[in-house]
Each structure stands twice: as structure tokens, then as C-alpha cells.
Amino acid sequence: MTLKKLTKNFLPFLTLLLLTTGCNSQTSDVKSNLNVEAELVVEGIRIGWGIAFLPNGEMLVTEKSGVLYRINNGEIIAEITDGIPSDLDVNGQGGFLDVKPHPDYEENGWIYFSYSSSAGEGSGSNTKIIRAKLDGNSLTSIEEIYKGEPNSNRGQHYGSRVVFDENGHLFFSIGDRGNRSVNPQDLNRDGGKIYRLNADGTIPSDNPFVGKEGLDAMYSYGHRNPQGMAVHPESGLVWAHEHGPRGGDEVNIIEPAKNYGWPVISYGINYDGTEFAEDTARDGMEQPVTYWDPSIAPSGMAFITSDKYPGWKGDLLVGSLKFAYIAHLDLEGDEIVNEQKLVEGTGRIRAIEQGPDGYIYFSAEGDGIYRLMPSNN
């Protein structure tokens, strides 16, 4: 497995050292001599797509099939189905997806969700963003924030990560919905985009396409299927990763009005081994910070901002669906200088989130929710 790092002028390409370990329980980092292990804290959640924490310390986990779990001190205290939207369409990669409380949740009580919705134009479904309030063990006061159009019967590439930036703007992703030939490069079509809205769903006046060609809600385009987003703790910029096809998974720094190139440029190839991209670089199209070849199928993403992991503060964690490990990316500024595999051998890593206690929590499909714990062993 190799992670590719691009120099500032993008050439030549450098292959970074990838450190591996042979067991699930423990991994050692040569930079800080830190050992970590995966501690299972919640069992019984099959596909925990999104993880979020409320100010009181409760954990919320969305289950792809359409359940919202409330968890307190490692115990499931409620399996919420009351108020789950009736237009939820569970199919292929679609279902009940991400969850994110408003930054001012204690004042307004809003929680934001993404899911595959059958509402709207055409058969099938597309990504929808809503906000709702938690009243006991029911979702209430549901409001639609955004709905991707048109629907599609293709069951892949819903994107669906949701984050808030430091100014309270809501960012979310919608994948190309399996229609790479049209959606990602068409400024007037949903799909293959990252969006920015105000928290109430209105359009920020300084969005890059307001008053120009393109969707007013659109922030960047030319994406394939972004399933990881996080806000850099120092720069405040949104970072995102996305699936490539066979190779070409990318980590990008998301900037307004930028074109990230899919499918015109890519470091990947078709699943059958044939080539499709016109090039790997082109003027007017952004290069990734890093890419993986072969693909690791990235999902979930978090910056470490606590002191629980000595030497790792400011580093980036990315989950691998394909190989069931967490990639620890050692950052120096915006440069990735090393990669290390953590906690190999769990289920497919779907979501990663830092908890209010400073520890990293992640979901592993078929297992449940784990906590990443430093170890002296």
C-alpha cells in the first residue's frame, strides 16, 4: 500500500514510507514511541455511518438501516426510529448517513442529518440534508436544508459528510451518484460537489457561484465521492477525502470555486483495469495533497486536537473501508510526511470522531464503536 505525496509543484511524485503492524490490538509510532490499541466500547451497531457527541457527553450514532442510537457511558440508552424520515431510501450505499449537532446546540437544539431520500424529481433517490430536534427519543421539528436533484436508481456515491466551519457555515458533500460523465463538471447539476450553506439552509451571500453560472449552494466541484470531511484546527479550512475508482483516492483542501478534476484528471483507473482519465494534471484543476494507489476506500476523517496522544496533536486520521485500518497521517503544516497503519483487523472503518474526553472514537462495521486508547505495552 503506498500513499503518494505531491510536492508544491506536484512533480516529481514521492512515495512515503508506510509503517505496518501485524495485529489489531496495538500499534507503535516511531515518532513518539506511542502505542495505541482499539478498545470496544459499544457493541450491537452493524453499520455506524456517522458519530457525533452532544454537549452532555452523549454519543449519537446513525445506523445505515435507519436507526439513531443514543449512547451514554458506553451503553445504548435508546434506539430511535420515531421521526426518522419516511422518504429514507436504504439501497446500495444509501441509507441513514451522517449526523452533526449545530455548534450552538445547547442554545438551539438543532441536529443535522444526511440520508438518501426518495423525495423529489425522478425515481430512485439522492442525498438530502435535514435538521431536527431531539425530543426524548423522537426526532421532531424536521426541516429540509437541501435536496440533491434529480433522483437516480444508481445506488452509489451519495457522499454525505457534514461539518460546520468556524463561522457556522454548513458544509456537506454529494457524490457524483455514479454519473461521472455529467454531474461533477456540470456547474448546474447536483452531484460531485461540496456545498456551503448557512445553518438555516439559506445561501451565504459570499458563496463563490452566487450571481454567476452554477448552483448558488455549490462551493467546489469535480469530486467523485467525498465520505470524509474535517475542519483543520489551525487554518479553519475544510479538508476532504474522496474515493477514487481503482486507485486515486484523494485528500484535498477545499477552496471556493475550485475544480478538483474528476473525472477529467485522476490517478486511478477503471475497475476493469482500463484507463479513462485524460491526464493526472491539468491547468485550472486542483491537485490533491495526497493520494493512495491502490485504493484504500477512505471513509471517516478527524484531526487530533487533544493531548491524549503525545506527539500526534494536529495529525489527521482517515479510515479505510477496504483494508479495515486507520491511516495516521503525520502532518507538518499542510504537508504529510509519514503514514502509519493503526488498529488493523477490526471491521471496515466507517466514521471517526474525537470525543469531548479527547479520545478518538470510530465505528467498525459488524463490530460497533471503538475508542483509540494509548497503551504502555
Q: For cell 425522478, what's the residue?
A: 122
Alpha carbon distance 55, 59 (integer Å):
9
**Quick check: is 157 catalytic?**
yes
Q: Which residues pair with 19 in a beta bridge?
A: 340
Q: For cell 426526532, what's the residue?
A: 139
Alpha carbon distance 192, 266 (integer Å):
14
Catalytic residue among 102, 157, 169, 328: 157
* SS3 track for 278-326: CECCCCCCCCCCEEECCCCCEEEEEECCCCCCCCCCCCEEEEECCCCEE
Q: For cell 466541484, what's the residue?
A: 221
Q: Quick check: 48 and 61 in contact, CB under 8 A?
A: yes
Best CA proximity match to 124, nearest among 133, 132, 116, 114: 116
Best CA proximity match to 77, nearest among 102, 44, 106, 40: 44
Sign of CA dihedral 221, 223, 225, 228: negative
Catalytic center residues: 157
